[in-house]
Amino acid sequence: MAFFLTDTQEDALNLFLDRQNSKVCEEQLNSDELDEELKEIVRKTVEAGSPIPAFDPRVGYYSISFTPCEKGNRIYVHHHLTNVSEEIYDPLLDESLVTEETKLYSAEVIPDEEGVSDFDMSKLSAQELEGMFGSPPPEVQSLFATANSEEE
């Protein structure tokens, strides 16, 4: 059995890893836990724009889970160093938020000369937005949970 990510899912994974890795790299560079040689390696990855924290290569630093369900695979990523998990794709989430147009979206966002993009975020699904910017704060999530439980 083989599992794979679409280009959109891979983009969401890379955005998640960049966000989490940036946090860990900053912590590692400001701590006394790493020796100077490892700090220099981490610093170079940050300067190159692809932050990769120091980690034990025998166990890795993130996991991707594919959970088969009736409507496809639920795909989640877990960052072992920050202990944060995020949904990459979950067909069980509110499908009314996903339109045919957002399913087909896979274009890269390329900023213009001033760093402003003419990219329309209203065309993204909730899953794609969460992949780009992270999950809503817990207090917002609890509001949705309360509203959903009252509807039932």
Q: Determine the average pLDDT of the residues in 31-46.
A: 92
Instruction: Classify residue 2: in a domain, yes or no.
Output: no
27, with CB counted inside 10 A (0-12, 13-18, 19+), is middle
3-state secondary structure string across the chain: CCCCCCHHHHHHHHHHHHHHHHHHHHHHHHCCCCCHHHHHHHHHHHHCCCCCCCCCCCCCCEEEEEEEECCEEEEEEEECCCCEEEEEECCCCCHHHCCHHHHHCCCCCCCCCCCCCCCCHHHCCHHHHHHHHCCCCHHHHHHHHHHHHHHC
Distance, CA of 83 to CA of 123 (rounded, Å): 30
- Domain limits for position 126: 7-151
Per-residue pLDDT tens over the stretch 1-18: 788 899 999 999 999 999
Write out the two tokens for 52: 């990769």
Cα 133–chain centre separation: 8
pTM (global) more than 0.75: no
Q: Which residue has the higher pLDDT, 131 or 33?
A: 33
Instruction: Classify residue 16: in a domain, yes or no.
Output: yes
What percentage of the chain reaches a pLDDT higher than 70? 61
For the chain, the domain total comes to 1
**Tell me, what's the pLDDT at 104?**
44
